[in-house]
Amino acid sequence: MQARMNNPAMLLPDAFKSIQALLKTVHSVDIPVETLELVHLRSSQINGCSFCAHYSSKQLKELGTSDDKLWAVAAWREAPFFDDGERAALELAEATTRLADKGDAVDDELWKRITEHYDEEQIAALTLMIGLSNLFNRVNAVTRQPAGETF
């Protein structure tokens, strides 16, 4: 696959700076980087963004994530490799990425599970990371950014 155009964030330098600033803010919160990358990977899998799925998988490997855990992200509900906090974060990623699939995308039961593992600042970071992941996925899918490429 060949990109239709250069990555839009690279074509608009102020956009790239803004995205980087937001990512820096998200990563400044006391939440495991692995959890942030897991939600990014899951959102990317759902959206079919090969660029982001590849990038996030590489990041997770660099963080020391086991192959078993990495291979099981798409089937996290049935896999034993995730703790309860990661499971709640992955469920939030799925619900947020699939907003249109049901009327109340993040119902009270899911919200309760999230708040059992994360405080408001951490939930804010997770929510922003999922939102950014969906932004990246959409930009990369529309412009056909190929997996394995770098900016």
Tokens at residue 110, please? 């899911």
Q: What is the pLDDT of residues 60-119, one digit of tens each?
A: 999 999 999 999 999 999 999 999 999 999 999 999 999 888 888 899 999 999 999 999
- The model's confidence at residue 148, banded by pLDDT at 50, 70 and 90, is confident
Q: Are 81 and 66 in contact (CB under 8 A)?
A: yes
Q: What is the pLDDT of residues 129-145, one digit of tens each?
A: 999 999 999 989 989 88
Q: Are 148 and 17 in contact (CB under 8 A)?
A: no
- Confidence at residue 15, expressed as pLDDT on a 0 to 100 scale: 92
Rounded Cα–Cα distance for residues 32 and 106 (Å) = 22
Tokens at residue 7, please? 């990555």
The conformational region for residue 102 under phi > 0 = left, psi -120 to 50 = alpha, else beta, is beta
